């Protein structure tokens, strides 16, 4: 019998991405300064919003995405990776990381997902519900039967907004 469809967050859920987020943030802040944009004291995700409004989203993906891809090549698997491996039914990944980093980390551990949606896969990113809806749609399943598993408040809010059940990583 098939189990209910499951969508997993990536970092802190299936694998642990050893990204030096401080360095990624500082690299992109320097990039912005070079472009004449003041990054202020925004954190990385604040800089993502700034990049979006200032028209530098591609630069964000190039600079921060490189940090993530590099880390994804070394990311250790977490306990839920075994759950995904054993899951017999539709499974997806919906992450705030770049889609390329997600795929590298999944490949590294031989993890298969029917859909992989990162922050750069659709027009918006978590906690907007659209990426989770897009994941479910690509899996060909209905949100009412699915559960989203994540390790952050952002994940919980995303599930809530998408009308999908949520389960915290234990």
Which position among 4, 9, 112, 151 bears the catalytic label? 9
Residues 6+ apart with CB under 8 A from 157: 126, 127
Q: Does 9 bind Mg ion (CB under 5 A)?
A: yes
Which residue, 15 or 32, has its beta carbon nearer to Mg ion?
A: 15
- Minimum Å distance from CB 110 to Mg ion? 21
Q: Which residue is nearest to Mg ion (CB)?
A: 12
Which residue, 11 or 120, has its beta carbon nearer to Mg ion?
A: 11
Stretch of 12-20, 21-29, 39-47, 107-115 contacting Mg ion, by CB under 5 A: 12-20
Which residue, 23 or 168, has its beta carbon nearer to Mg ion?
A: 168
- Minimum Å distance from CB 11 to Mg ion? 4
State how far the Cα of 17 lies from the Cα of 25, in Å rounded to an integer: 15
- Residue span 57-96 as binding mask against Mg ion, x where in contact by CB under 5 A, dash where not: ----------------------------------------
CA angle 141, 123, 31 (to 5 degrees): 140
Whether the CB-CB separation of 158 and 135 falls below 8 Å is answered with no
Residues 6+ apart with CB under 8 A from 72: 15, 17, 97, 100, 101, 102, 104, 105, 108
Q: Does 11 bind Mg ion (CB under 5 A)?
A: yes
Q: Does 99 bind Mg ion (CB under 5 A)?
A: no
Nearest Cα residue to 49 out of 151, 127, 152? 127
Whether the CB-CB separation of 139 and 106 falls below 8 Å is answered with no
Site for Mg ion in 151-170 (CB under 5 A): 151-152
Task: Examine the residue annotation and report whether 9 is marked as an active-site residue of this protein.
Answer: yes
Q: H-helix or E-strand containing 30?
A: helix 21-34
Q: Which residues bind Mg ion (CB under 5 A)?
A: 9, 11-12, 151-152
For the annotated catalytic residues, the residue numbers are: 9
């Amino acid at each position: 019998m098939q189990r209910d469809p499951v969508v997993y967050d990536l970092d802190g859920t299936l694998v642990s991405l050893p990204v030096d987020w401080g360095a990624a943030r500082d690299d992109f802040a320097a990039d912005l300064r070079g472009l004449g944009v003041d990054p202020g004291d925004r954190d990385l995700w604040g800089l993502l919003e700034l990049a979006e409004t200032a028209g530098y989203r591609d630069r964000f993906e190039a600079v921060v995405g490189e940090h993530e891809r590099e880390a994804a090549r070394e990311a250790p698997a977490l306990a839920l990776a075994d759950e995904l491996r054993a899951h017999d039914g539709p499974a997806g990944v919906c992450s705030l990381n770049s889609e390329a980093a997600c795929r590298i980390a999944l490949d590294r551990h031989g993890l298969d997902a029917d859909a992989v949606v990162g922050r750069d896969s659709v027009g918006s990113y978590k906690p907007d519900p659209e990426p989770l809806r897009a994941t479910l749609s690509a899996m060909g399943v209905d949100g009412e039967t699915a559960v989203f598993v994540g390790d952050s408040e952002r994940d919980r809010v995303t599930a809530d907004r998408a009308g999908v059940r949520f389960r915290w990583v234990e």
